[in-house]
Amino acid sequence: MTEPANSLPRLGAPAPDFEAETTHGKLRLSDFLGSYVVLFSHPADFTPVCTTEFLAFAKIAPDLRARGVELLGLSIDSVFAHLGWIRNIKERFGVDIPFPVVADSGRAVANLYGMVMPGESATETSRCVFIIDDKGILRAMIYYPLTTGRNTDEILRLIDALQVTDQHKAGTPANWQKGDAVILPAPRTAEDAAERSELAGKDGVEYIDWYYVKKTL
Ligand code: BEZ
């Protein structure tokens, strides 16, 4: 694994592979090929906002599994700190953390994914979320500041949207929720644009204009 500077990865490109120590032993990102992966970083173990997030991620773990998605946490704390914090979460809140957490003490993974935002903190990873598809392609990224806990409903919604796009080659409108109509890709040629109106009245189609067609699946 090469270690470039703290640069952002690119959507649509292969997610940088890595091997790392985790609370479930040594893992490679590529071990998860065939499943979607949510790789997320938190600033530090034994901190309050991060604790609320771990509880929230543990709560959606069954929903993610039902969608064929694996969770992988990460911070630059040691594996011993991760284990201590996870055990404390179990004691204090009665919640098991079912996903592995990467101990990225040397920041190798943080550097590959641009997780450190020096303007916020030179020593902690920001609250990053990387959604990687079953073919290992980076499909979405969300970056939150240190002070704001993430919205796990939005992460589920984003995965649903990406998986609908995979299945139906369609886009999803603003504030789309699972079950809502999708958007058919806009035509890219004059010929396709001219033929667009033929979709009007077809099953499930709402024709608004040549570039804007919705479809209920
Ligand atoms: C927190 O989880 O509460 C936290 C961690 C690092 C910086 C700010 C807040």
CA of 159 from ligand 1 middle (Å) equals 26
Chain-wide mean pLDDT for the chain? 96
- Structure pTM? 0.95
Does the beta carbon of 44 lie inside 6 Å of ligand 1? yes
pLDDT in tens, 134-150: 999 999 999 999 999 99
Active site residue 128: no
Share of the chain above pLDDT 70, in %: 98
pLDDT in tens, 17-43: 999 999 999 999 999 999 999 999 999
Does the beta carbon of 120 lie inside 6 Å of ligand 1? no
**In angstroms, what CA-CA distances link 60 with 21, 70, 97, 98, 155?**
24, 11, 11, 11, 10
Sorted by where each begins, the domain ranges of the chain are 19-150, 169-215
Structure token digits, residue 168? 């139906």
Q: Does domain 19-150 have CATH number 3.40.30.10?
A: yes
**Banded pLDDT at 7 (limits 50, 70, 90):** confident
Is 169-215 the same fold as 19-150? Answer: no
Largest CA distance in the chain: 64
Q: Answer whether residue 4 shows pLDDT above 70.
A: no
| Ligand 1: nearest atom to the Cα of 121 | 7
We find that the CATH architecture of domain 169-215 is 2-Layer Sandwich (3.30)
Mean pLDDT, residues 74-102: 98
